[in-house]
Amino acid sequence: MINVAILGYGTVGAGVYKVLDMNRETIARRVGEELYVKYVLDLRDFPGDPAQEVLTHNYNDILTDSDVMIVVETMGGLNPAYKFTKLALEAGKSVCTSNKELVAEKGLELRDIAKANHVNYLFEASCGGGIPIIHALDNALTADEIDAVTGILNGTTNYILTQMAEENEEFSEALKGAQKKGYAELHPEADIEGWDACRKIAILSSLAYGKYVSYKDVFTEGIKDIDTVDIAYAKSMGFKIKLLASSRRTEEGAWLMVAPKLVDGKNMLYHVNGVLNAVYVHGNALGDCILYGSGAGSLPTASAVAGDVISAARNHGRPIPSDWSDDALPLIPIDDVRNVFFVRFAGTADEAEAAFGKIEKVMIPEAEGEFGFFTTEMTEKEFRDAAEKSGKVIKAIRRA
């Protein structure tokens, strides 16, 4: 019998409790022993809920119980999750988490502490919910030099963009709908400003490249400025706008970027709609590989956490190898990153060509007094300079 404690009985924590219960037999067969939730830690009480019987309000009950082999941290936020995780690892307990803020901020340190204590710090659920991308990077795609990772890593923004494209909703309307359905929080900044996707691409890139990337160094643009005219332009040209979290490793250096981009129908990410997530990985032997699934939600996320619990149980006393080093990934300045831009322009074709060179106008009935065009590939700085020179750029969206 392997004893587990769950810290935080919110959406994900309760999901983990449920998954471990409903799939008890299968999990026992796969682990070779039964898993038992001995404690649930929460400040609240849950009368009538089965978790109430194992509920504690005192973390010390868990920390000092040497029977507890695995701690599930589904509290979210930096504190006290950081302190609790550190204490658990130092006490020789493995920790499995869905907490992307903590992993992005302190993951490397916590993984080192785990290693030093011969236990595991696992966080499959921190990126892409149920999608097994971290397992893939850590265990399966290990023979490759990965040189590109791009994901639709935030379900809320993908839902909003899908509603705007398919139901012709305004951004604010789509956001309200997402909040009503429980897909977006009351304070949705972390999603719509791109911060959530930013943390996730930093984590995935660190694992993929075996070099450390701080989420603070990721160029991040959200979707709150995307309007129905942008969507109409995109649609007219066979594109969709998706919030892509991307990183590339090239000869010249690496870069990371979260931004809304135009994606065409040949790209599998075009077909990822609603709250679903997907991650594209390119390896020098593997070629293209995409993992697709539920990026959020109680049970899909819990499935990933519970999968980690099983890995922790199977690997008790043996840190699972991982290619996350504290060696920093050298990044090129974002000014030097090259992109193709779709420009909405309020001047004449001559004015546009004076600043951007030869263009082909795109005109749609939804956009009066303006037209659109694609630039050639240019650096961010070249684009900014040209835009400034012309003085007539309304807005630009990068092409994927």
Contact 275, 183 (CB under 8 A): yes
Closest CB to its own copies among 104 and 278? 278
151 binds its own copies (CB under 8 A): no
Closest CB to its own copies among 114 and 359? 114
Contact pick of 311, 339, 375, 390 for its own copies (by CB under 8 A): 311
Is 216 designated active site? no
- Minimum gap (Å) between residue 377 Cβ and its own copies: 26
**Distance of alpha carbon 109 from alpha carbon 111, whole angstroms:** 5
Helix locations, the chain, DSSP H:
11-22, 24-31, 59-63, 81-90, 100-116, 133-135, 155-167, 171-180, 189-192, 195-209, 228-236, 298-314, 349-356, 380-390
In the shown chain, the binding pattern of residues 191 to 210 toward its own copies, with x for contact by CB under 8 A and - for none, equals -------------------x
Helix (H/G/I), strand (E/B), else coil: 239 = strand
124 binds its own copies (CB under 8 A): yes
Contact pick of 175, 302, 352, 400 for its own copies (by CB under 8 A): 302
- Minimum gap (Å) between residue 273 Cβ and its own copies: 9
**Distance of alpha carbon 278 from alpha carbon 291, whole angstroms:** 5
**Distance of alpha carbon 191 from alpha carbon 268, whole angstroms:** 22
Contact pick of 113, 184, 244, 309 for its own copies (by CB under 8 A): 309
**Distance of alpha carbon 330 from alpha carbon 359, whole angstroms:** 35
Q: Looking up tokens 């930013």, which residue turns up?
A: 198
139 binds its own copies (CB under 8 A): yes
Closest CB to its own copies among 75 and 137? 137
**Distance of alpha carbon 21 from alpha carbon 185, whole angstroms:** 28
47 binds its own copies (CB under 8 A): no
The DSSP code for 215 is: G
221 binds its own copies (CB under 8 A): no
310 binds its own copies (CB under 8 A): yes
**Distance of alpha carbon 252 from alpha carbon 306, whole angstroms:** 40
- Minimum gap (Å) between residue 330 Cβ and its own copies: 16
Closest CB to its own copies among 31 and 364? 31
Cβ burial of 229 (10 Å; 0-12, 13-18, 19+) is middle
285 binds its own copies (CB under 8 A): yes
Closest CB to its own copies among 131 and 352? 131
Amino acid at 348: T
β-strands 338-345, 35-41 pairing: unpaired
Q: Is residue 396 within a helix (H) or strand (E), and if so which, with residue range?
A: strand 393-399
30 binds its own copies (CB under 8 A): yes
Of 200, 224, 261, 395, catalytic: 200
Binding site residues, its own copies, CB under 8 A: 15, 18-20, 22-23, 26-27, 29-32, 124, 130-132, 135-136, 139-145, 210, 268, 271, 283-294, 297, 299-300, 302-304, 306-307, 309-311, 314, 321, 323
Active centre residues (catalytic) = 200
